Amino acid sequence: MADSDRELVRRAQDGDPDAFNELVLRHQEKIFNAVYRFCSHWEDACDITQRAFVNAFRKIGEFKGDSAFTTWMYRIAFNQSVSFRRETGRQKTVSLTSKDDEMVREPAFEHNPSERLETDDSRRKVQQALAALDDDDRKIIVLKDLQGYSYDEIAAILDIPKGTVRSRLHRARLALKTKLKSFAGTARS
Amino acid sequence: MSCPLDRDKLTGYFDGELDAADRNEIDRHIASCSECLRELEEIKSASFAVRGLPRLPVPGKVTAAIRAGVSGRVIPMRKPWLTWGLAGAAALFLVVNVAFFSSLRREESRPPENTDLASRPAGEKPLDAPMTRGKRGAGDEPPSAERRTAMKKDAQEDYAGTGSKKSPEPARKPGFYTVVTSEVADARERVEQELARMGVRHRTGAGEYDSGAYAQDTCIEVELTDEQLAELENAMKKDPRQFVWVEGQQNYYPCRQEENARDGDRFAGRMRGDGSGKGREDESKRKADKSEGKTAKESEEPKPRTTPEDPAKSAAEKKDAPEQARKAGPRTRRIVIYFHELQRAQRTGK
């Protein structure tokens, strides 16, 4: 049976690099996806994810275990995202590089090419709308609607009360909807 | 006149995070308040838009960069007193080893009783060979790049719980999907119809919320090929009843057989091979088996063979394994489908 995260962290703290590598393999996909949807830039997401995990490894001795490992990783990853943006002076816009286009393409079960293009375009608009939100709103939508965490888990990750999670999420979703409508309106015109 | 309702509750209602009293309040309210119903639709629409974004694989270069960043490290220490304690223990260990090996070398300077190297047990290293860590492969050299890749695949397969260590293909994690619907029974029936059409057996279970509550018949577990999964997805998305098919699990724990087998009261565990709804007999049989002390596995799986294997035959069988795999058809993987109920107001027909 696979070791729990807690056990792996303990072993990593005792100097076992394989234990930390196992934690990376378990959690890199969700961290990478959260970072990518937060920063809206493929290459940045790659750099930020790498930095977040390396930072986590360097600070693993400081992790007290009073929260889940993933809670701690998300905090590091989001903080790293903000620092990275500050360092690079990157604007909060959606990068429309060919790499991003490849990555958002769906698996080929849609037989109608125009249907697939429409899906790619609509997803790009969703990503644009996400990028247009402020950081707090974007984080909470990523954690709830993308990653599927409960209010309690989100409260732990963001270190805010549970009531604030609900009110912020409500505001964020309405803001996102407004952005989506405005992008749709722009497209039509 | 604007509505007096605390609108945040609409979000809590949508996410299933309200207590029963608040949930009932919203149920009653949106039945008569078009403003709040409209806002609920907006919330739903925004949420589904984000849920529709695909989950992207991690580029290999990211994993490699993390590994490189980690490997050039100083081993982290937890606390200063621990650091000094470990340093002292390391120093003591070194002294003891030096003393031990020094005494051995004095012994070795005498002529050995048996100089025939062939008599040394196979794999035994000379006493003065450098010590290796237990986790490394055979031999004293660090693992090759090929071996490191194989070790990584093993770790991934162990985590995924799929495949075997000997499988040459990379492990694929079980897929989780959620069908968001106002009518769970309709959606489940549609999935079961489609699976029956494909001739695929499935099992039905209880999806469990983070709060610890669970709901019967809200989870289907099935083995599908990629093609079958695509057909199922297509059927669900094209159904006029507007089921929303989302990749990923939403606030549910996995519908695992081994967990459910231990908790017989909570898991339905019914096998519905033909979608006919027969299964209660299976459940009562399972309960009877449980009372006799049999585990779920013992009662469901065929008895293992007891006759000893013929080595020649098993070798021949292993040789034919690739051919048999080709004949067996494309590879399936475990898919878990959750059914998430959404609009209670619509369900009650208000």
**Residues A115, A58 share a domain:** no
**Residues A122, A88 share a domain:** no
Probe site for chain A from B22, B36, B56 (most A CB atoms < 10 A): B56
**Residues A58, A16 share a domain:** yes
Any A CB within 8 A of B39 CB: yes
**Residues A22, A74 share a domain:** yes
Measured between alpha carbons, how far is A36 from A105 in angstroms, rounded to an integer? 15
- Of the three residues A92, A116, A150, the one that is the final residue of a domain is A92
Query: CATH number for the domain including A187?
Result: 1.10.10.10
Contact at CB, A15 and B75, closer than 8 angstroms: yes
- Of the three residues A53, A71, A92, the one that is the final residue of a domain is A92
Contact at CB, A50 and B65, closer than 8 angstroms: yes
Contact at CB, A145 and B50, closer than 8 angstroms: yes
**Residues A151, A179 share a domain:** yes
**Residues A67, A22 share a domain:** yes
pTM comes to 0.49
**Residues A7, A45 share a domain:** yes
Q: What is the pLDDT of residue B320?
A: 59
Whether residue A48 contacts residue A35, with contact meaning beta carbons closer than 8 Å, is answered with yes
A-chain residue closest to B61, CA distance: A46
Total domains in the fold of chain A: 2
Query: Is B8 a residue whose pLDDT tops 70?
Result: yes
Q: What is the pLDDT of residues B58-75, one digit of tens each?
A: 988 899 889 888 876 444
Nearest CB partner across the interface for A126, out of B50, B56, B75:
B50
**Residues A74, A20 share a domain:** yes
Measured between alpha carbons, how far is B251 from A157 in angstroms, rounded to an integer? 16
**Residues A144, A181 share a domain:** yes
Range of the domain at A160: 100-189
Contact at CB, B73 and A46, closer than 8 angstroms: no
Measured between alpha carbons, how far is B177 from B233 in angstroms, rounded to an integer? 10
Q: What is the pLDDT of residue A99?
A: 46
**Residues A12, A63 share a domain:** yes
Contact at CB, B70 and A17, closer than 8 angstroms: yes
The nearest CA of chain A is from the CA of B239 a distance in Å of 15
**Residues A165, A124 share a domain:** yes
Query: CATH number for the domain including A61?
Result: 1.10.1740.10
The nearest CA of chain A is from the CA of B274 a distance in Å of 26
Mean pLDDT throughout B265-294? 42
A12: left (phi over 0), alpha (psi -120 to 50) or beta: alpha
- Of the three residues A68, A92, A116, the one that is the final residue of a domain is A92
Contact at CB, B49 and A25, closer than 8 angstroms: no
**Residues A186, A114 share a domain:** yes
Measured between alpha carbons, how far is B80 from B86 in angstroms, rounded to an integer? 10
Identity (one letter) of the amino acid at B76? P
Q: What is the pLDDT of residues A119-158, one digit of tens each?
A: 677 888 899 999 999 999 999 999 999 999 999 999 999 9
Whether residue B77 contacts residue A38, with contact meaning beta carbons closer than 8 Å, is answered with no
